[in-house]
Structure 1
Amino acid sequence: MAVLEAPYVYISSLPSKDVRNRFIDALDYWLKLCPETVAHVKQVTDLLHNASLILDDFEDDSPLRRGKPATHTIFGAAQSINTSNYTITKAIRMVLGFVEPARALEILDKIMSLFQGQAMDLFWSYNNHCPSLDEYYRMVDNKTGQLFCIATYFMVTELPKDVRSAQMLLERFTLLLGRYFQVRDDYQNLMSADYTRQKGFCEDLDEGKYTVPLIFTLQSQPPNLRVLHILSIGKRTGKLAKEQKDLVLKIIEEAGGFQYTRSVLADLYGRLCGQLQELEVMFGSSNTDLRCLLELLKI
């Protein structure tokens, strides 16, 4: 068992802001669930999140995770994938053992959505296909948003039926939080010195990932052959030179891609704050923990 779980133990040990568990605790301020339920929700979320990180790093050929070697560079691809599959199965077993069957199936549908979102992300990168921004946001809602939604939905299933009127508003807030979280990550990957230390310099460009700054640039300046050819080279070689990345960053800046992304983040953040106010009115109390979490993520 130690051999099987070693890759998971490693990825779990890496430093993290613990955003998802802080989000769960903040929701529980309103929902007031029993400690056992909250512990189950956190465990399922942690299992799914860390398993997805192991798979993401291997599928993206990422050498680093949070400033440390990625799991597959230590344990090998085969062992890492096997542990990830085991971990996801373990999470599903926990859901089935804790939630009534009909609700459990809905949670499993959300887990399946994680893979659908990742499939589109990988497809666009592998085929050097630039999605529309609407397509990109739908992918994010599945890949990033659903992990937050799984926690929210899991918690709401424990509520009395007359309190579940908050479910739809909570799920809208949660999806929006996932979207903000991912667009923020896109921006930080290309602009943050701290992110460079954690994941490497503009790693998304090495992977040929289509993110908001890049999609906006390519759609506002079609066809930008310099960018497309540089991304193609990165996919073939597995890594771009600093000078190639600097050129792409310059093109994005001149096209207004970073300014546009900052405006998207500001809009999403404003909407999150507005929905948080609605939730506070619905539950009859302000939520300091949730407000602090939003402030932590603000750019």
Structure 2
Amino acid sequence: MKINAIWDQYPMIKDELGQTLDLMAQNIRADNQPIAQAILHMVGSGGKLLRPAYLLLFSMFKATDRHKMIALAAAVETLHTATLIHDDVIDSSPTRRGSISIQEQFGQSTAVYSGDYLFIVCFRLMSKYAGDFRGIERYSQHMEAILNGEMAQTSERYDVNISIDQYFKQVSGKTGQLFSLAAFLGAYESGNTIAFAKRAEQIGLKIGIAFQLLDDILDYTDTSQEIGKPIHKDIREGIYSAPLILAMAQDRTALVPLLKKQAQINDQDLLIAIKLVIKLGGIKQAKTIADNYTQEALIGLKELPDLPAKKILIEITSALLERRF
């Protein structure tokens, strides 16, 4: 499968990411061939592979079985793919990474089963390659946190009183946990100490939160073609992210009446809301918070042993802030 061109400058990891995708493809053997092909197309459709990349890089601080680490990277990316399919079902999203989503092609029920199938693939890889029960236990804990984050987001839809703390609880589970899990598994399963693995876990969490903040900012600043998904869809569906929440904290009087229209908000009102978020400094504040999380992650990375993987970790984490990754 073709690897995203962003990894061309990092040959040390590019080949292993290619092997990660190949192993995922080998393990996706659903009986329904059209569904299997749709999943495989999604897997190979140009995702950035950041989570498996972080796992592989954190595993390079110890000499270890590279096939094992590639298999665990495949497990984490399979889990990520499963959550994306389920996200598209929840959001009724017609596209994913510039292509028709599985739920749009085959219906919501089939998409749910497709996501569930990928959970099985993930567990299969984890059970076969995890060194002991600690890795599997950590996986289950992170999976629970991811689902709790998703449920929190669902239960807080259209809540104009949502706080920034509630938002961070959502993203810590929804996005932060996958980066955190990847970092932990890479560090721990490679034979490093549990203390080192927990440090990696916390760094991964900060990177994941910063990544989600920046993703939410892009929803207000970029086009659908640039980010590979419909923009401004979250407001219409009642998913209120940091830029909007921070803007409401500055002035609720103009924004709340628009938001109370919920799914009936029209395009003109949506445009007004977006302009208000920008005017009230919501995007600027969210960018500052994302910068703080990134800087905290970079401080942790700079304390790691001076090995080639450290240099790459610092470079790609810094690049995330400008969304060059």
Q: Tell me if both proteins adopt one fold, taking TM over 0.5 as the criterion.
A: yes
Indicate the structure whose relative CO is greater, using CA pairs within 8 Å and at least 6 residues apart: 1
1:181 alignment partner AA: F
CA–CA distance in 1 between the matches of 2:185 and 2:207? 17
Instruction: Check if 1:140 corresponds to 2:171.
Output: yes
Of 173, 195, 203, the match for 1:173 = 203
Give the conservation status (yes or no) of the 8 Å contact 2:59–2:187: no
> Per-residue CA shift, 1:72-97, capped at 9, x if unaligned?
11121111111111111221232233
Distance 1:207 1:219, change over 3 A: same
**Which of residues 147, 170, 179 in structure 2 aligns to 1:115?**
147
Cα pair distance change 1:49/1:141, threshold 3 Å: same
TM-score, normalisation: structure 1: 0.88
Who is 1:273 aligned against? 298
Q: What SS does structure 1 have at the residue aligned with 2:159?
A: coil
Per the alignment, do residues 154 and 267 of structure 1 end up closer, same or farther by CA in structure 2, a change over 3 Å counting?
A: closer
Deviates more, 1:82-91 or 1:285-294: 285-294
CA contact (8 A) 2:79 2:122 kept: yes
CA deviation string 1:95-131 (max 9, x = no partner): 2333323442232121121111100111111x53542
| Counterpart residue type for residue 233 of structure 1 | K
Query: Which residue is 2:318 aligned to?
Result: 295
Cα distance in 2, alignment partners of residues 106 and 148 from structure 1: 13
Distance in 1 between the 2:189 and 2:136 partners? 12
**Aligned 1:1-299 pairs, distance under 5 A:** 1=31, 2-99=33-130, 100-125=132-157, 127-160=158-191, 163-193=193-223, 198-222=228-252, 224=253, 226-235=254-263, 237=264, 240-279=265-304, 283-285=305-307, 287-299=310-322
- Percent identity over the alignment? 19
How far did 1:32 drift? 3.5
Distance in 1, Cα, partners of 2:202 & 2:41: 33
How has the CA–CA distance of structure 1 residues 266 and 103 changed in structure 2, closer, same or farther, with 3 Å as cutoff? closer
Q: CA deviation at 1:201?
A: 3.1
How far the C-alpha of 1:196 sits from its partner, in A, is 5.6
Distance 1:268 1:253 in 2: 21
Residues in 2 aligned to 1:217 and 1:131: alpha-carbon distance in whole angstroms: 12
When residues 41 and 129 of structure 1 are mapped into structure 2, their CA distance, relative to the original with a 3 A threshold, is farther
One-letter amino acid matched to 1:98: Y
Structure 1: which 5+ runs fail to align? none
Preserved contact between residue 56 and residue 186 of structure 2 (Cα < 8 Å):
no
Task: Return 5+ residue gaps in structure 2 as ranges.
Answer: 1-30
- The equivalent residue for 2:21 is none
Higher alpha-carbon deviation: 49-58 or 24-33: 24-33
Contact 2:247 2:280 in 1 (8 A): yes
Check conservation: 2:57, 2:186, Cα contact below 8 A.
no
Q: Please report the TM-score for the alignment, with normalisation by the length of structure 2.
A: 0.81
